[in-house]
Structure 1
Amino acid sequence: MTATRVPQEERTRAMRARLLEATVELLVERGFAGTSTTLVSERAGVSRGAQLHHFPTKNDLVLAAVEHLTVVRGAELSAAAAALPGGPRRTRAVLRMLGDHFTSPVFTAALELWVAARTDATLLAAVAPLEQRVGRETHRLTVDVLGADESRPGVRELVQATLDLVRGLGLAATITDDASRRRRILDRWADVLDTRLQEAS
């Protein structure tokens, strides 16, 4: 019995993953309003019946995609942080890593969910706590990779200002992507951060 159940569980897991990945792709390409369960099942190569069995409504599907996005975003950031260089240009590398994260397709999909959740109480109830968790984890990771001491006055606010800056630049990039402008701003902010963090140490 176990020998037949495990492959079925694996197939089910793979099918759910395809559905969630297709949902994220469609959120990026078509937005929340343009994403439908029919399009998702077609994109994932999953029968409509199988998709409805696991996710009976669009909100069920999107809420599962929110959880999936949370895991993907955390894994992407952790992997990028592990690859950061040391040395005098580390702060610039940290900011470019964050800038890349907040202009990635995963961020764009998350943004679609934020906008939709503003007027959908059910979606908001699922999105808000997950976003708070992602925010805490991203803040903690940023503190770690910058080597910032938040027990010093003003350091926590500097870290949060950094995250607000890169998030804002990511939001702007959804309208018009000006990578060279973003790079100049982040390089200048790196100088400010290096100075202020040294003063606080």
Structure 2
Amino acid sequence: MARSKVMAAGLLLAALTPGAWAATAEAPGPAACPALLKHTLPRLQDEKPVNLCGWAGQVVLVVNTASYCGFTSQYKSLEALYEKHRGRGLVVLGFPSNDFGAQEPGSNRDIAAFCDNTFGVRFPMFAKSTVSPKAGGTLNPLYAQLAGRTGQAPKWNFHKYLIGRDGTQVSSFTSAVEPNDPGFVRELERLLKTE
């Protein structure tokens, strides 16, 4: 009972703090954690570890981002999508990366400030990582699984993966597909309606 009150207070505080979002080491709620989400990764703002199982049972949109890209304006439509559908079970997870055109050269702190000040991003963002196997370095394990599952690794910034509530359905969308693209929205709606 005491633990529930502490978690509820933490979620309330996170909801009241601009740019903040709650994440716990354990997955809240009854949903079992699918293999695809069994990763703990550092969040952007303070590099504290976040267990992705906290979003089990939700539709998860994973997108690799960059601050100085022709697609950077997609932050605005990603945030709008998140605000519109998060009550229905959508979460957007952003993963900054410097893999393509060196378009994300800043520190995690620089990226966090840019996202907040320029686009008012409130969806969860994670520390800068490598998302392309061609970039060298240690590949983000979530991206390794997503590429393996779909056969498509990101070729540029703002590549999108939609993961169904059960963690088994995964769709891949290229950077040029905007978050308000009719085909993308149809797939999102289909996944949101799936229990």
Report the TM-score when normalising by structure 2: 0.25
Higher strand share: 2
Higher helix share: 1
Report the TM-score when normalising by structure 1: 0.25
Which structure has the greater CA radius of gyration?
1
